[in-house]
Structure 1
């Protein structure tokens, strides 16, 4: 499986709410992510900077490129937009990270 990692940014003071919303992730969103081939998805917070570090694994036949077109994905982005740095469509601004080391 391919592994991806990226950074996002959480606005200060929203840590507890961000966690709460993810603890209550919508079943239909979780299903859409899984159907698109996303597995083992984790997000970590650097409390000093507000940076969110996300890492996930993709199945070889993943269809993650369809996610932005799904109504449930757009609703989630709208729901989370007040907590994070987002673009004009409310999609979280992501910065891809380049892998430099891996150990099994």
Structure 2
């Protein structure tokens, strides 16, 4: 199992909408995340900076990376692009974080 940490950023005023959309996460997205080996997925919000901090455990990084190219993932990116910083392909601007400590 690989632990991944990353950060993204919301546009101002989009905190409630972001949470709403994730509380209504499409079943197809849930299924895809699990199909590509994602588990224990959590996203935290720093309300002062609007930075989102994500954590997910993945079975295999190569397999997980392929999830970005699925049709449902691309559809999700398009759906979320109006409320957060994105790249030209609507993928979220996502910066990986370096793990510096872990305790089970």
Say yes or no: TM over 0.5: yes
Q: Tell me the residue number matched to 2:77.
A: 77
User: 1:61 offset after TM fit, Å?
Assistant: 7.7
Query: SS of 1:45's equivalent?
Result: strand
Q: Tell me the residue number matched to 1:49.
A: 49
Query: SS of 2:85's equivalent?
Result: coil
Contact 2:6 2:97 in 1 (8 A): yes
Query: SS of 1:8's equivalent?
Result: strand
Equivalent runs, 1:1-104 vs 2, <5 Å: 1-60=1-60, 63-104=63-104
Q: What are the ranges of 5 or more consecutive residues in structure 2 without an aligned counterpart?
A: none
Of the structure 1 ranges 23-32 and 59-68, higher mean CA displacement relative to structure 2 is found in 59-68
Give the alignment's Cα RMSD to 1 decimal: 1.2
Contact 2:2 2:61 in 1 (8 A): no
* Structure 1 residue ranges, 4+ long, deviating more than 2 angstroms after superposition: none
Query: SS of 2:49's equivalent?
Result: coil
CA–CA distance in structure 1, aligned partners of residues 61 and 51 of structure 2: 30
Query: SS of 1:43's equivalent?
Result: strand
- The size of the alignment, in residue pairs, is 104
Deviation by residue 1:35-80 (Cα, 9 ceiling, x = unmatched):
0000000000000000000000011486112112111100100000
Q: What are the ranges of 5 or more consecutive residues in structure 1 without an aligned counterpart?
A: none
CA–CA distance in structure 2, aligned partners of residues 45 and 97 of structure 1: 15
Contact 1:36 1:62 in 2 (8 A): no
